[in-house]
Structure 1
Amino acid sequence: MQKQKIQRFITFLSLSFFLTGTYAPSFVQAEQGDSTTIVGLKKSQTTQILDSFKEKQEVLLFENVPFSSDDELGLFNAERKMNSLSDILKRIDSSKEQYKQQKRVVTREKFTLKRMIADLDASISETEKYISDTEELITDKNREIAKYAMHIEELNAKIEENKTSILRYLTYIYTKGDLVYDGAQNIDVLRSIILNDGNLGEIFNDIHYKSILETAGQNFIEIHRDLVKEYYYNKESLKKEKLANVRLRGELIARNRDISAQKQYKEQILEVTKGQEALYNQYIATKQESEEKIQIRIANISEEYTSVFARLGDKYQCDIVGGSNGSGETVATTASGYSFTASGTLLDSCSDLQKFYTAEKKLIDYPIDENIQNPLIWPVDATRVSTYFHDEDYFKSLGSDHEAIDIPMPQGSDIVAPAAGYVYFIQPPTATGYGYIALKHSNGFVTVYGHISEVLINKFDFVDTGKLFARTGGTPGTFGAGPMTSGAHLHFELYKNRESIDPLRYFDLTKLQYDSIEGKYQYKFVEDLKTRYGNKTNISKYSKFLIAGSDEIERQKYLLANYASPSFSNHDVWTEEAVGGKIDPSFLMCVGLAESGLGNHLKTGFNVGNIGNTDSGGTYEFISARQGIYWMTKTLNNKFLGKYTTIDQLSRYGNKKGSIYASSSSNWHNNVVRCLSALKGKFVEDNFEFRLAEDEKDD
């Protein structure tokens, strides 16, 4: 027993000394089944060691840098402002020259303005004459059309009259038949007289009629043909005249439009050119005034900029020079012409200061687009993750949150930059020490790589996205693995504005094996799959927790119908209580699922959200399902939790010291996120806002 205590004490001292010297963050668990000790250390000791390391690493990464105060960091903003203002000055000069050129053009055009107006007037007069002639021609055409129409009516009357005569002739011939014809088929007048039973006057009239009847019979058809021919000729002529009239009217409309445009153009020219030279003079004067104001602003910013450089020089005992050092050797300079040096020779601290400044400046040109789904690429060729961010088992074993992901990789695998950045810190690998590297990126991102076996770059080197800069390690006993390691892997940390964040939120998870991914990330895997392949892949095989429905409401109803107990399956009750408490209904249902399986595993009556049911034995029960749901919203809005807006604040997953709804450091949060992703039909982030906005409540 005494020997074990001594060994444990020696191990603790060794580990503490190691952490103090190298800030190693990676550990392994003890033998399987032992969740309270690690290589002879108690859980309380590992918690202390790990938390101490995190504090020191935070100081190392974010406090122990050349520029730390607000005014020093303001150098970059000042330089950006000066560069921006200089660009504005260049644009002003360019625009001034353009307007001067336009002024010269206008001055030349003034001499030709009268000619332009005269040409326009001539064109307008010509168009007006054409319009007048066209209107007269249309009037003539209308008269011709009227004449043709009248003549057609007359012809039509004659044709009808001739048709009547032909009909009478044919009727007479048909009724008398052979009686009025002789053997030669000519009309026999004497026979007609004998056969006629009228008086003498009528007989003579009849004889006269019959004498002309024969002649008429021969001419009737020819006359009719001539009348019809003339009729159709006049109709065609009328049609042509009407078409011509339509064409003329169309031309008249076009000409009227032309003359309107010509007159408008003339007015515009007169308006624009009227006093235009004076307007250009005024504009150039305004630009000149703006230029002077910008010059004053640049001078003021530059004065403060120089002052900060001077303070930095005093702080690090470095001289501030411009362009070259005292011996004539050229040194790296800032955009404003300053460099950090010391009596002509760059010292280590001054050199680092200059390199840091140069790297920070270059970083400005490599922003990370956080609007895309996966802005970072994998630093290694990963297929699975062995330990997750805020891993529950890790916390249970070591008493400290795992602020990283562990990626199993063969010893010596390539590590590439997930985004452009520069080398922020290097802890070189040694035979017994822990090796790691930190890269700084734009937008406040910092990435850390642990168990490094080989470093291929230098501090302050700039690396582009995908560029090789180190190799993995972690195999026990190898360079950079540290005194304790679980095997070959990459320990990867991601920071955003000095806060550790989950790296898997920023990577394409389709690179991993789906079945090896923790439940809540499987929805992101599907989202990434859609982004990567569109509709070319079948995602149905990746659905583990199936919630059917074409929209969120249908999926809510499916969840309650298939997973809730009968008492808690009423969709209206859930939504009414949630909206009344300004809580997202889907979130409230998922909390009920995580706490009691939506009423299937109640500890006390109708307490679906485990309100008041504490680990120390406290219990509380309700008289109805609605009351149990109501008290969930009441609890989320109380004085302790009412200030929270995102899921990660409600448990120890993202809230280490404040009041919480659930004590779990991982499982509760992951289950709620997984359920919410299914109901929302998309991957839900850790910082999902579970409270409804006013307009959402009103809807």
Structure 2
Amino acid sequence: MSRINQKQKTKKIILPVLTIAGLILASFFILELNPVSAEDQVQELNSEIQDKQQEIDTLQKEIDAYQEQIQIKQKESKSLKNQLAILENQIAKIELDIEATGKKIEQANLEIQNLNLQIQDKEAEIKNQKTKLSEYIRLIAQNDQVSYLEVMLNNDSFSEFFDYIKYIEDIHGDLNKNLSELKTARQELEIQKSNLEDKKKQEETLKDDLLKQKADLSEKTSAQGLLLVQNRLTERQYQGNLYQLQLEQQQINSEIATLEKTVREELEQREKAERFQDFGPARLSWPVSPARGISALFHDPDYPFRYIFEHPAIDIRAGQGTTIKAAEGGYVAKVQFRGDKSYAYIMLIHNDGLSTVYGHVSGVSVKTDEYVSKGQTIGKSGGLPGSIGSGNLSTGPHLHFEVRLNGIPVNPLEYLPAF
């Protein structure tokens, strides 16, 4: 009687084990057959992302075409009509750049949505894997209550015993498989989260680019406005004005170069030279923050007034009235500031044959023939057309920053820290 009861007890344990094991094994196939709505959403987003990429590619072709026209016009002779054509192409190109950047931001948003869906799907998969694992562990714990000898003695046939053994082996095999899949799913989840962070950073960079492109558009449009005023003149009058502007720029350049040479000669003959030498080797720092970007490079081929002169500086975007700091300690060789709309600048002389010029200043905090230390406030930036110190050749607020080596303009970016 006790043997019959024991046999029934063993079967009560074995049958649920086999049944639950079968259900868990079947769940693998059921899950694979059922479509996941998240996958449909991911596919839909992928399709939208591809559409955005096609739009971006189309815009890029138009941008390249305008760039080609700009380069052709830049090689032609300097005339008012030609300069207006260059600006019109530059404005059209920037407008397309802005549109393309907007599309890229939209594309980045779609990719972020896509990654979020994939992350949610992967988290659900991990949760499902954990549920399966807990079921496997429960079955194994339940199976451990019965020994193989007890199962063999209490089964009606060896066939039932071997079926039981096979199911137990399947459970262990599926447990290992499930653990491996869980590990892989977690690794994929970490990769997707990392990709999501990268996409968010990319989106922020694109937004910054968009702001700079809009600033470029504003500056080019302002330059176009100045040329359109001149367009009302005859070509002969324009060429006359061009000559006067070129002459004025040459005079400023010559004045700075001559002044530097004279000042250095005087310093060598004065006791103040000892203090000047105390500044040590010249190591330039940014006079204003470059965070808002550079609107015109040294000898920039896209400089709107290149038909008058080669740009001998970099133009650093800065709000009207931004504090200007001395890029290095040195001697104030010249402060050209009348308090009116004429071009105003500050010139400092440093060691190692270097000098720096700060143009379009709207205010000054130093005087000629005094010394300044590195980082000391020397004035306020300007450049807003028609404002104090802006001069005739400015399209928006910025700092015109020159670096000269032995009186000759050199590329400031080769002397400033990377940003």
Give your verdict on TM over 0.5: no
1 or 2, which has the higher helix percentage? 2
Compute the TM-score of the two structures, normalised by the length of structure 1. 0.26
Greater RCO between the two (CA within 8 Å, min separation 6)? Answer: 2
